[in-house]
Amino acid sequence: MTPCILCGCEDTIDYYRDINHHFLECRKCTSIFREPATWVDAAAEKARYLTHKNDVDNLGYQRFVSPIVEAVQANFDSKTSGLDFGAGTGPVAAKLLSEQGYSLTLYDPFFYPNKEVLNGQYDYIICCEVIEHFHHPLQEFQLLKRLLKPNGMIFCMTDLWNDSVEQFRKWYYKNDRTHVIFYNEQNLKWVANEVGFADVSVDGRLIILL
């Protein structure tokens, strides 16, 4: 069976399969992940992202990202440095924070690919609708940890999964073929312990690692 893309455990089982999708479940860390043989290639992945309507002036999307924006403002002042990791085509959260005087650096492997910014360290990192796209999630979280200054925090947003296979069949979030792994409180705690975060908190779609 295919090893888990998060923890590497080979104790995985088929979770859900249809004509378009094949997902497995890890019995160790409980991750649900897309069978890597069915992943889209980089060109198709970028093309998918270009269809996202993340208009920085769209009020609906501004409301959508507001949990991250408010969490940053509650924990850091505008004198601190931030990184928008996986900024995408429309870095809405970074725009809203910058309008309040915050300074954020943008990084995205497709749209803001300057790897020099990965040599620095930041007080906080935002990952809005990003971590479900990680092909090598453990390595990506390890990178994020290295990018944090002492006492820094990572703010993520994603749809969590902890329900039945029947509900998974109906779940819209699985249908995006660039979504390759889904999180729940258990595998997020595994990430925190493995990478060396002091704690992880989950509030709806908002995840904070510190």
> Which CATH number fits the domain that encloses residue 202?
3.40.50
Domain with 120, as residue range(s), is 12-209
Residue 71 belongs to a domain: yes
Is 2 contained in some domain? no
Tell me the pTM: 0.96
pLDDT digits 0-9 by tens, 124-172: 999 999 999 999 999 999 999 999 999 999 999 999 999 999 999 999 9
Residue 61 covered by a domain: yes
Q: What is the rounded CA–CA span in Å between residue 193 and residue 130?
A: 20
The residue to which tokens 């975060």 are assigned: 197
Q: Is 7 part of a structural domain of the chain?
A: no
Query: Would you say residue 53 lies in a domain?
Result: yes
- Confirm whether 108 is domain-assigned: yes
How many domains does the chain fold into? 1
pLDDT in tens, 58-84: 778 889 999 999 999 999 999 999 999
